[in-house]
Structure 1
Amino acid sequence: MKIPHKAHVALVDGERFLFLRNDGQIFDPKLSKVEEPDLEATNFSAGVKHQDQGGQISGSTDLNELAHAAAAAEWLNAKALANAFDELVVVADPKTLGEMRRHYHKELEKRLVGEVDKALTHEPLEKIGEVLANA
């Protein structure tokens, strides 16, 4: 995957959110941490579609994780509207990415240059760069 020079990367899961920047080249990303926002998960309606009894019993639905995904998307929306970045790649596990997509603002969608559905928040930055380069 092409990660443009100075493009930002949002690395998200149900608990953690890292905002990174590619200081390397398009096919050889060198990621650096810009910020790790402390999000307040307030949108618990985000997981309404996941509140089936089966999901609750099996524990496969965690409303806190889905609310965190919604909060991450809202944070990215605010940054996009403030012109804080031009290009963005979102990397998140499939459930988080699906929830985030439901909350993307049109301005954020214009700035998206890619999405990767992988859980990488606990990997070192070098490994994340390799995965993105090979995606």
Structure 2
Amino acid sequence: MKLPNNAFVAILDGETFLLMKNTSSNESEPTLEKASNPDLDPTNFSAGVKHQDDGGQKTGSTDLNELAHAAAAANWLNTKAIAGAFDHIAIIADPKSLGEMRRHYHGELKSRLVGEIDKTLTGESTQRIEAAIAKA
């Protein structure tokens, strides 16, 4: 994935949300620096209504707190996109969180989205995240 200079990268899973910024002028070789750890208020528990199937409930694979966190992250990014806080953003999230986030993307966020990676990279080194972006 080509990541423009000054593009943000949102890295999240069901519990963690980290925002990084690309400082490299070479779009093919990102250099990320930590920008912030946004404080979210995951209150959108309606996010998980779609996942209230019998199979998910029996196996415990549906965690409404994780889905609410993903919805809160999408809403936070929507607010920043609408405010013009960034021109470009990439999102890296575990598949379930990314799927939930997509349901909440505002048109303004979609227009600034340069790519998505459906992989859990929270807790990984910056170098590993940079390599995943370069390979995508």
**4+ aligned runs moved over 2 Å, structure 1:** none
Aligned equivalents of 1:118 and 1:82: distance in 2? 28
Provide structure 2 residue ranges, at least 5 long, that are not aligned to the other structure.
Answer: none
Aligned equivalents of 1:52 and 1:118: distance in 2? 24
Residues 53-89 of structure 1 deviation map (CA, whole Å, 9 limit, x = unaligned): 2211201000000000000000000000110000010
Residue 124 of structure 1 aligns to which amino acid in structure 2? S
Provide structure 1 residue ranges, at least 5 long, that are not aligned to the other structure.
Answer: none
Q: Deviation of residue 12 (structure 1)?
A: 1.1
Residue 13 of structure 1 aligns to which amino acid in structure 2? D
Residue 53 of structure 1 aligns to which amino acid in structure 2? D
Residue 124 of structure 2 is matched in structure 1 by 123
Between Structure 1 and Structure 2, how many residues are aligned? 135
Residue 3 of structure 1 is matched in structure 2 by 3
Q: Deviation of residue 126 (structure 1)?
A: 1.2
Residue 22 of structure 1 is matched in structure 2 by 22
Residue 38 of structure 1 is matched in structure 2 by 39
Residue 11 of structure 2 aligns to which amino acid in structure 1? L
Residue 54 of structure 1 is matched in structure 2 by 55
State the identity as a percent. Answer: 62
The RMSD of aligned alpha carbons is 0.7
Residue 72 of structure 2 is matched in structure 1 by 71
Question: 1:55 is paired with a residue of what secondary structure?
Answer: helix
Residue 87 of structure 1 is matched in structure 2 by 88
Residues 17-68 of structure 1 deviation map (CA, whole Å, 9 limit, x = unaligned): 0111001121111101100012111000001010112211201000000000
Aligned equivalents of 1:109 and 1:122: distance in 2? 26
Residue 26 of structure 1 aligns to which amino acid in structure 2? E
Aligned equivalents of 1:99 and 1:42: distance in 2? 14
| TM-score, structure 2 as length reference | 0.97
Aligned equivalents of 2:15 and 2:21: distance in 1? 20
